[in-house]
Chain A
């Protein structure tokens, strides 16, 4: 059965996740007042995280998300990869 959850956490900046999930993450929206250069990197992160199995494998997703940042020479300010994945785990428990 599908569940939806919306969760907001304050790190250096705000991070909000809206997630629909069952055995897998069906849809994910990441919003907030953080900074990420280049900004388009966020779409790749969302694509990577959509469809992954629930419960999530945190270490794997942290590694994959960091790879996306590194390969785009992207810099995230106000939140971290760990913040995203930890919040995703919280939202899907």
Chain B
């Protein structure tokens, strides 16, 4: 069994976060880096959009600029996400494809089961909801997205610690609907968070996630290599903090 490197929670800006994922993918593919599970936050808060989304359709660019919120296009599909600095824990899992089921939904399920285990440790009963969500009583607590390239799987996702729906709506464009109290209440009913469900602290959530991802894997705690950090900074310039990439759709 291959040993995973686990990198505990650190803050980075949006561009570096996404670039680290891609850099690690490259080094895992070359067998220079171990399969990796990393936990991270977003400093400053950011909006990430899916690889196939139109940035102007999804993001209120005036609002993000005025509030100092970064905007980044991910490598993965899925929807636009507001990543509040204090509101979530994000993870990425990067590993050779052969370590996970070929069936994409099944591979989502395997990884999401680790998050469900972590939430259970906090007293939260959550379930996997295909394609890529984790729900508590029909309310979303975690969204996940995956890409597969050159034999490497990357899945990243957020676990909501606390949600500010009004802030989220001020930054994301909600299709053809004005932000109304009714709409905010409607979304509040569809989204939940650890704070909504328990009295757990964000540190409790981080510890539980480490336990969840460790339980079926051999893990060695580690950090980013100098090569990975250096490559990530190249990718920040070439791609993730580059308007050609961000505004390509």
Contacts and interface: CB of A to CB of B under 8 A. Distances in A.
Interface of A: 8, 12-14, 16, 29-39, 42, 75, 77-78
Contact of A36 (B75, B77, B132): B77
Interface string B75-91: 11111100000000000
Given A33-B52, A39-B147, 9 more contacts: A13-B131, A16-B54, A31-B52, A33-B79, A34-B52, A34-B77, A35-B131, A38-B149, A77-B104
Which label, helix, strand, loop or mixed, suits the secondary structure of the A interface? strand
A30 B57 CA distance: 12
Given A12-B131, A29-B249, A77-B131, A35 B78 contact: yes
Contacts of B175: 8
A73 B50 CA distance: 21
Contacts of A34: 52, 77
Complex A-B, nearest 7 residue pairs according to Cβ-Cβ distance, in ascending order: A35-B77, A33-B79, A31-B54, A37-B148, A33-B50, A31-B249, A39-B51
Contacts of A30: 52
Contacts of A31: 52-54, 57, 249
B180 to A, nearest CB: 20
A75 B249 contact: no
Contact of B131 (A29, A32, A36, A78): A78
Contact of A37 (B80, B132, B147): B147
Interface string B116-148: 000000000000000110000000000001111
A39 B57 contact: no
25 contacts: A14-B79, A29-B249, A30-B52, A32-B52, A32-B53, A33-B52, A33-B53, A33-B77, A35-B76, A35-B78, A35-B104, A35-B132, A35-B145, A35-B146, A37-B104, A37-B146, A37-B147, A37-B149, A38-B148, A39-B52, A39-B75, A39-B77, A39-B149, A75-B104, A77-B105
Contacts of B75: 39
Interface string B59-95: 0000000000000000111111000000000000000
A37 B249 CA distance: 18
Interface string B25-52: 0000000000000000000000000111
Nearest to A39: B51
